């Protein structure tokens, strides 16, 4: 309500009928303008009172999500207005949460446009004790993001192809040198014994194997990754992975610590790829452990944060500098004396295939921590209680 209307309403008994009528007309016009703006907004708006009854919804919302057909939507419970049960569950979850804001993504089936991705942003309007839900169509943005991801992959493939060319130069040069040496010996002596030939051919064979490994790793890194997503328990994946490397850790004298969160929600993931990622990080941590390290240890932890299930692999190894951390996910960059430098590049690709991420923090001489992040699907989020437990 405008300051003018507030002032006028306090003196309404002193106003004439004409003045009251003019105020009503002014407010009606203002309301029409606001409704016009809201109804032509690209965002759908929904406001509920303290009993989850609809106070207001704009025309955009009726075209954005599926509503039950009704003549009137106001003063009706939201469960009888919105047809999507997941959206209704989110609304109820937000009310119970006590949080000021929350957001959630939904997949909406549209007979005209097909599948659409819609985000709902919830907030509290304390002045009138109401809840406001703003719905945005993110389909175009997500398609743009996917296109950007494809272009990013193409750019990465170009970089990796250049890396392959660089990597195979050394073994090819080595092969060339040893073949020339063989040729000179044949020219000088007229023949070679089996033992003499084997000395050269063994080196050539090793370099051919090296080239083959470079090619195989490159193809694995760039080819489309087959991801078999299924609802799974991250703690179970961690336990299975640890059982594979426990004997090696013990043999190397590296203490292993495990901190698994209780009642983690399940995630939509490819368990074999996640296991491969954890195993990769544990192996890297073992290789990063100095031989003279006192009380060497690797710790694997799971926890939930911001609708993400996270898996942390931390060590007290040699650590990395800021410059090294900025490059570790780049193809063919490695701090190890052996290896192709594609392990973390593939791990990064795996996490992106899961709509997740991987982060790293490290201090030289102290150790490193890698954290895998996997989003919790909306179906699992609704099963969580207010304290975040399933």
- Right CATH number for 230-381 from 3.30.565.10, 3.30.1200.10, 1.10.357.10, 3.40.50.300? 3.30.565.10
pLDDT for 234? 94
Structure tokens at 140: 């175009």
Question: Does CATH place domain 142-222 in 3.90.640.10?
Answer: no
336 within 8 A of 283, measured Cβ to Cβ: no
Select from 184, 173, 163, 113 the least CA-distant residue to 143. 113
Q: Which helix (H) or strand (E) holds 92?
A: helix 85-97
Question: What are the residues facing 299 on neighbouring strands?
Answer: 257, 314
Strands 255-260 and 297-305: parallel
pLDDT interval class at 155 (50, 70, 90)? low
* pLDDT tens per residue, range 211-265: 887 777 776 666 666 788 899 999 999 999 988 888 888 888 999 999 999 888 9
* pLDDT tens per residue, range 10-19: 566 666 677 6
- State mean pLDDT over 319-333: 76
- Residue boundaries of the structural domains of the chain: 41-137, 142-222, 230-381
pLDDT for 162? 67
DSSP labels for 185-245?
HHHHHS---HHHHHHHHHHHHHHHHHHHHHHHHHHHHHSPP----EEE-HHHHHHHHHHHH
Question: What are the residues facing 106 on neighbouring strands?
Answer: 118
**pTM for the full predicted model:** 0.51
d(CA 252, CA 296): 9
pLDDT for 385? 42
* pLDDT tens per residue, range 24-53: 666 666 666 666 565 667 788 899 998 999
What is the share, in percent, of the chain residues with pLDDT greater than 90?
A: 24
* Topology adopted by domain 41-137: Beta-Lactamase (3.30.450)
For the cut 70, the answer to whether the pLDDT of residue 331 exceeds it is no
pLDDT for 90? 92
């Amino acid at each position: 309500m405008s300051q003018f209307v507030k002032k006028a309403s306090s003196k309404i008994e002193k106003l004439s009928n004409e003045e009251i009528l003019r105020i009503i007309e002014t407010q009606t016009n203002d309301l029409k303008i606001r409704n016009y703006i809201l109804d032509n907004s690209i965002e759908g708006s929904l406001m509920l009172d303290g009993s989850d009854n609809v106070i207001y919804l704009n025309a955009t919302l009726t075209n954005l999500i599926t509503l039950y057909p009704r003549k009137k939507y106001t003063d009706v419970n939201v469960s009888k207005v919105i047809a999507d049960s997941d959206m209704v569950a989110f609304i109820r979850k937000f009310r119970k949460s006590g949080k000021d804001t929350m957001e959630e993504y939904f997949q909406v089936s549209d007979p005209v446009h097909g599948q659409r991705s819609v985000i709902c942003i919830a907030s509290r309007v304390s002045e009138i004790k109401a809840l406001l839900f703003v719905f945005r169509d993110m389909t175009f943005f997500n398609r743009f993001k996917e296109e950007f991801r494809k272009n990013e992959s193409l750019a990465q493939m170009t970089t990796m192809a250049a890396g392959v060319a660089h990597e195979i130069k050394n073994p090819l040069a080595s092969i060339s040198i040893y073949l020339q040496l063989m040729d000179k010996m044949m020219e000088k002596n007229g023949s070679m014994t089996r033992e003499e030939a084997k000395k050269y051919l063994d080196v050539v064979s090793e370099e051919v194997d090296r080239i083959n490994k470079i090619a195989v790793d490159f193809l694995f890194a760039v080819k489309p990754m087959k991801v078999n997503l299924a609802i799974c328990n991250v703690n179970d994946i961690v336990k299975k992975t640890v059982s594979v490397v426990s004997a090696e850790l013990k043999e190397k004298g590296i203490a292993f610590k495990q901190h698994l969160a209780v009642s983690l929600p399940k995630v939509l993931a490819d368990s074999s790829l996640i296991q491969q990622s954890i195993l990769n990080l544990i192996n890297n941590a073992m290789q990063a452990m100095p031989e003279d390290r006192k009380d060497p240890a690797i710790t694997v932890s799971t926890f939930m944060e911001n609708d993400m299930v996270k898996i942390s692999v931390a060590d007290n190894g040699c650590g990395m500098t800021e410059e090294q951390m900025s490059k570790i996910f780049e193809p063919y960059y490695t701090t190890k004396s052996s290896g192709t430098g594609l392990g973390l590049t593939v791990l990064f690709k795996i996490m992106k295939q899961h709509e997740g991420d991987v982060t790293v923090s490290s201090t030289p001489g102290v150790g490193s921590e890698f954290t895998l992040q996997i989003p919790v699907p909306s179906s699992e989020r609704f099963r969580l209680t207010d304290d975040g437990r399933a």
